[in-house]
Chain A
Amino acid sequence: MARGIDMARIHKDEVGHVARLARLTFSQEELEGLTNQLNDILTYIGKLEELDTAEIEPTTHALKLTNYFRRDEKGRSLSVDEALSNAPQRENGAFVVPRII
């Protein structure tokens, strides 16, 4: 039984890799605590492997909804000033970020 999840208990270097994907950084000490906690959580959620779901359709939405379309009409939207009002740094009607190129 239970390939996949049982095998997938996470190691510290893998936690570091996931942190990079998530754009997070942790101290060595935090990383160790986190690895233990993630292992507890992943072991617990590994419980799902007990169930045979081969023939079960996944749920993507709790209700059977059809897409709702509204008319394509011009409405009020935020002004540039309003949209930028919470930006940590802004200049000439734009968000400022560190140089990329």
Chain B
Amino acid sequence: MTNLVDLTISSLRQLLDQREVSSVEVTRAYLERIEAIDPKIKAYLTVTGQQAMEAAMAADEYMASGKTAPLTGIPLGIKDVICTKGVPTTCASRMLEGFIPPYDATLMERLNGQHAIMLGKLNMDEFAMGSSTENSAFFPTHNPWDPKRIPGGSSGGSAAAVAARLCAGSFGSDTGGSIRQPASHCGVVGIKPTYGRISRFGLIAFASSLDQIGPIARDVTDCAILLEAASGHDPKDSTSVNRPVPSYTGALKEGLKGLRIGIPREYFIPGMDPEVEEAIRKGVSALEGQGAEIIDISLPHTEFAVATYYIIAPAEASSNLSRYDGVKYGFRAEGYRDLLEMYTATRSTGFGPEVKRRIMVGTYCLSAGYYDAYYKKASKVRTLITRDFQDAFARCDCIAAPVAPTPAFKLGEKKDDPLQMYLSDIFTIPVNLAGIPGISVPCGFSSEGLPIGMQLMAGHFQEETILKVAYNLELALGKIKDWPEI
């Protein structure tokens, strides 16, 4: 029998339901692999071994009583930005070191309701701010395809853990590309659903008009399974949308005949890695071979997306992160004389450099006299970017483009140049600004053996379309490469 950790969620489901393996066996296999391999990858901030084994026993009992659900007994990893009752949730920040949420995020309630298994909490850029996971206050995560390289970010732990077979699937969050960019760099599938598709109750807030939870998986089918389990309205999150959840797995197998895929010329820019462009072009040809019609489109305001994002996201973050004041939870500095000094010392010591930088940018953009010039201006350009997509989707059903301009870069390469780091999100940010769904699906490798992902985008609540196209790409390309040896 093949190694349990190499199996997809859909294969594990069959084996579990046919009683060929137990959740305890699968969970133990993952925990053993984490112990052996994770010191090289460093995907996990917390491993909840004992709870996982107890949950696996409960899942086996649940199945023995004749019940099952799509994720029953399946071991998953959770980005450390999602609150887990009784389990430390740090956002990879000193500010929340030792914070133990007294409640579960709605996502966790849904997963627990299905008797899914949580293996632990995954590393990330501090407060989800970053594109490399190097901003974690604890340690960087390494790319399973090349440990000298970054896994992407901010959900770098979530993507690396899936690629390194340290969990069967994971959840991350995506504010400007934080699921899709690491999925692309780690050769796995990651979807940022439509804004409002998955409840954010218990997701620690970064930029509230952009943040969205989403899954990362080994293949498109697994990604659809995880998305289906997580989606749906939640009375505790008034931005979650009250709209039926379709069968995402059911939608996969429809063909691409008659489907129009738009290729935006603004996503093929000078300075982009030619190997990325070549991989995307080949992937697009493969989709054409599957019956899709390929058309050229334009998203004319693309070049303004990063600037728009780096006003809106820091502005919202500066407001959201004002709650970290050393009073209610988390870190409190010592050696203060009064309340103001306590706030200032706590925040200055507890936050890392990138978080402080973004709080500064956001505070400045919202400060007296600058609001109209920055935040209001950016909100207007956001309208133009959204309209670009609306116009494009009048002509095509789906847009195909690169996820990132280059494959994974080296650890340390961009760490001291914030603006260069920001530009690595150039192709993923527009999706968040427009609130539409986007997926990253593997479509090739660079000559150095690094994965390259294709990004597929569609209109609001058209997750079925991008999943179907991604599934067809996966079929057309076949198995691209074996998982990396670690």
Contact = CB atoms under 8 A, between A and B. Distances in A.
A65 to B, nearest CB: 7
Interface in B206-235: 209-210, 235
Interface stretch (B60-68, B108-116, B366-374): B366-374
A89 B336 CA distance: 14
B331 to A, nearest CB: 7
A48 B339 contact: no
B311 interface: yes
Nearest to B310: A45
A98 B310 contact: no
Interface in B308-359: 308, 310-311, 318, 322, 325-332, 336-345, 347-348, 351, 356-357, 359
Contact of B379 (A8, A34, A60, A65): A60
Contacts of A95: 327-328
A25 B241 CA distance: 40
A4 to B, nearest CB: 4
A8 B418 contact: no
Secondary structure of the A side of the interface?
Answer: loop
A32 B337 CA distance: 27
A48 B329 contact: no
A15 B434 CA distance: 31
Contacts of B418: 37, 40-41
A46 B198 CA distance: 34
Interface in A21-47: 21-26, 34, 37-38, 40-42, 44-47
B195 A62 contact: yes
A44 B374 CA distance: 12
A92 interface: no
Interface in B292-312: 301, 303-304, 306-308, 310-311
Given A41-B310, A98-B336, A24 B347 contact: yes
Contacts of B242: 68
Given A24-B359, A58-B379, A63-B435, A97 B342 contact: yes
Secondary structure of the B side of the interface?
Answer: helix
Interface string B65-104: 0000000000000000000000000000000001110110
Contact of B241 (A58, A60, A65): A65
Nearest to A55: B380
Contacts of B98: 86
B364 interface: yes
A86 B418 CA distance: 33
Contacts of A34: 357, 360
A1 interface: no
Given A44-B307, A53-B380, A21 B367 contact: yes
B322 to A, nearest CB: 8
Interface in B158-180: none
B374 A65 contact: no
A40 B372 CA distance: 20
A86 B376 CA distance: 37
B398 interface: no
Contacts of A85: 100, 102
B136 interface: no
A61 B316 CA distance: 13
Interface string A83-101: 1011111000001011110
| Most chain A CB atoms below 10 A, which of B347, B348, B364 | B364
Contact of B330 (A48, A88, A99): A88
Given A40-B418, A47-B304, A62-B434, 5 more contacts: A24-B356, A25-B348, A68-B242, A87-B329, A98-B337
Interface of B: 98-100, 102-103, 194-196, 209-210, 235, 238-239, 241-242, 301, 303-304, 306-308, 310-311, 318, 322, 325-332, 336-345, 347-348, 351, 356-357, 359-361, 363-364, 367, 370, 372-374, 376-384, 386, 418-419, 422, 433-435, 460
Interface of A: 4-5, 8, 10, 15, 18-19, 21-26, 34, 37-38, 40-42, 44-51, 53, 56-63, 65, 67-68, 70, 78, 82-83, 85-89, 95, 97-100
13 contacts: A4-B373, A15-B360, A23-B340, A38-B361, A40-B418, A48-B307, A53-B380, A59-B382, A59-B383, A59-B433, A67-B238, A86-B329, A98-B338
